[in-house]
Amino acid sequence: MYKQRIQVIVIFLLCISSLKTVAQQKSLTRKWTPDNGDGTYKNPILWGDWPDPDIIRVGEDFYFVSTSMHYVPGCPILHSKDLVNWEISGYAVDRYNEDPRYDLHGGNMYLRGSWAATIRHHNGLFYVGFCTPAWDKEKGNFSICISKDIKGPWTRTIFPEYLYDPGLFFDDDGKVYVVHGQGKLYVTELAADVRSTVGQAKLIWSERIEKPQGSTAPYNAYGMEGSHVYKVNGYYYITCPAGGTEGWQVCLRSKNIYGPYEKKVIVQDESSYPYNGLHQGGMVQLKDSSWWFMIMQDRGAIGRVAHLEPVVWKDNWPMIGENGNGKGVLNYKKPIEGNKTSIKIPATTDEFNVSQLGLQWQWNHNPDNSKWSLTERKGYMRLHAGFAAELTTARNTLTQRVQGPYSEATVEMDVTGLKDGNVAGFGIFQSPYAYIAIKKQGNSNSLVVVNNGTVVDIIPGFNHKKIWIKATATDKGFKGNFFYSIDGKKFIPFGNTLNMGLGYDWTANRFALLNFSTTEDGVDGYADFNWFRFHGVNE
């Protein structure tokens, strides 16, 4: 009897352990979903790098545009039916042709692509505007992209003027304006076709914004930026962040587009991710006349995430938070009641089974389109090697966002097409970066881990035809870790931990597929990626 009881207890414990393992696996296969499935949602709406959000409503549809810096295609645009469930619709910029450094010729354009995009819809056309800083010049430029269809094609006009952090606005008298600037804010009128400026920029604000009581933010010498413009009940409203990463959101209002303006802090809250405040974004009015604000929050190396916040009008000010209390919500009733939209999230996993690149992918700088293919070997992403000394100068590094609070991604790679000098693998890209790769020298392959240009571990004579590589990322300390497998089942830790950082300021870390050649003889070598599979947790 005693032995039978022991056996029953052992079986019970094994069952519990098995159920726990299954539960952990199910938890891991989930991705961050803000929709709680019960008519409520949780923040962040997007637990990844979707910075500087701006949103509009066109009929029953919502559109969201974001900054993408040096990644191509640029200016990603998302679509939603309820402001909670979002999918990628496309991009406003196919590639940057105005400077050879976007092709990594004669230098690079890290951080210099699309900044602080603005989106509007007017008379049947979509408009996306953004600025492009240029560190080696006194100023950058400003662009407007126009399309009849949110999915494109888009026509881009590059202005000679530099309108920093632009907020595009169509007034009800037919005039078009951009509010722009950092610290000092300006209004510039545009022509009716939105392809050129009219006259000179006019200063409308130069007052420095003091931090509100209770804020832990350092004193920000730059003041306000990231402007977005609205007209409600005869008032012009300009929403702007102030205080930087640990900052808050300010609103200006006036009866005249050129001022004078009065100011009010409409949200100051860092409680959801101390000590980083909710700041910078745009607001939108729904068909039921309610207003909502999409606002970002810095979450370090994982990125600047988007929060959805209710807006309550008090004394003609758009106050953010429940009952307009100036504080963000964590869980809240969805904006659109009874919406039957199934849960949707931006795409991640890719089996590479179609001939077009998935919208979740962006290249580091402009790609060389002659050196990648989804058709040369059906069901595979083939990356041909280009010559580069190391990863940051290599073209055709294919990336997508890491996500919080924890994410991992795995690839299966066939290396039979590599040539001498090729370095092909998978890892996490930013500055610093790290990856696991096969490095081919002569007729022999080595398995290496490279952490920011330094080989930290190596297995010589690694002559397997296939390899599986896994990378993980977490917001707990911003750590990246790496693993390899020779059978796709048992994964072995390899190398050291990547302390994920933001050497390319304001641009989050990304999972990255790579292949480049350190020798000219290897530029025709290729690596075949069978699939990319993304997993995460939904805490």
Whole-angstrom distance, CA of residue 455 vs CA of residue 450: 4
Predicted TM-score (pTM) of the model is: 0.92
- The residue written with tokens 């402009």 in the block is 366
State residue 13's pLDDT score: 36
Q: Burial letters for 488-524: b for 16+ Cβ neighbours within 10 Å, e otherwise? A: eeebeebbeebebebebebbbbbbbbbbbbbeeebbe
Q: In this predicted model, what pLDDT tens digit does every residue of 103-153 receive, in sequence order?
A: 999 999 999 999 999 999 999 999 999 999 886 656 799 999 999 999 999
In this structure, is residue 443 part of a structural domain?
Answer: yes
Residue 279 belongs to some domain of the structure: no
Together in a domain, 371 and 459: yes
Q: Is 528 a catalytic residue?
A: no
Are 179 and 73 within one domain? yes
Establish if 440 belongs to a structural domain.
Answer: yes
Residues 382 and 476 in one domain: yes
Residue whose structure tokens are 């009733």: 333
Number of structural domains, the chain? 2
Distance CA 281, CA 65 (A): 10
H or E stretch at 184? strand 184-190
Asked about 52 being catalytic, the answer comes back as yes
Q: Are residues 444 and 505 in the same domain?
A: yes
Which two three-digit tokens encode residue 176? 């078009």
DSSP state of 219: P
383 three-state secondary structure: strand
Q: Is the pLDDT of residue 304 over 90?
A: yes
Give yes or no for residue 518 having a pLDDT over 90: yes
Task: Let me know whether 327 and 421 are in one domain.
Answer: no
Question: Per-residue pLDDT tens for 412-454?
Answer: 999 999 999 999 999 999 999 999 999 999 999 999 999 999 9
Candidate list 54, 82, 165, 225, residue with the active-site label = 225
Q: Which of 296, 313, 333 is the last residue of a domain?
A: 333
Assigned domain for 454 exists: yes
Q: Quick: pLDDT tens for 148-189.
A: 999 999 999 999 999 999 999 999 999 999 999 999 999 999
- 298 and 395 belong to one structural domain: no
* Domain encompassing residue 451: 362-536
Residue 424 lies in a domain: yes
Q: Same domain, yes or no, for 384 and 322? A: no
**What gap in Å lies between CA 291 and CA 294, rounded to an integer?**
10
Residue 536, pLDDT score: 84
Residue 195 lies inside a defined structural domain of this protein: yes
Which tens digits make up the pLDDT trace of 310-356?
Answer: 999 999 999 999 999 999 999 999 999 766 668 999 999 999 999 99
Mark whether 502 and 386 lie in a shared domain: yes
Same domain (yes/no): 328, 366: no
C-alpha–C-alpha distance, residues 134 and 208, integer Å = 25
**Spatial separation of the C-alpha atoms in residues 69 and 507, rounded to whole Å:** 7
Say whether both 114 and 59 belong to one domain.
yes
Residues 161 and 301 in one domain: yes
Residue 7 pLDDT exceeds 90? no
Annotated catalytic residue within 35, 49, 52, 475: 52
Kindly report the CATH number assigned to the domain that includes residue 432. 2.60.120.200
Question: Tens of pLDDT along 44-75?
Answer: 999 999 999 999 999 999 999 999 999 999 99
Q: Is residue 380 part of a domain?
A: yes
The whole-angstrom separation of Cα 26 and Cα 28 is 5
Is there a single domain that holds both residue 327 and residue 431?
Answer: no
Farthest-apart Cα atoms in the chain, separation:
96
CB environment 167-204: b (16+ within 10 A), e (fewer): bbbbeeeeebbbbbbebbbbbbbbeeebeebeeebeeb
- The predicted-structure confidence for 12-46, as pLDDT tens digits, reads as follows 333 333 333 333 333 344 578 999 999 999 999 99
Q: Domain containing 310 — which CATH number?
A: 2.115.10.20
Q: Is residue 248 part of a domain?
A: no
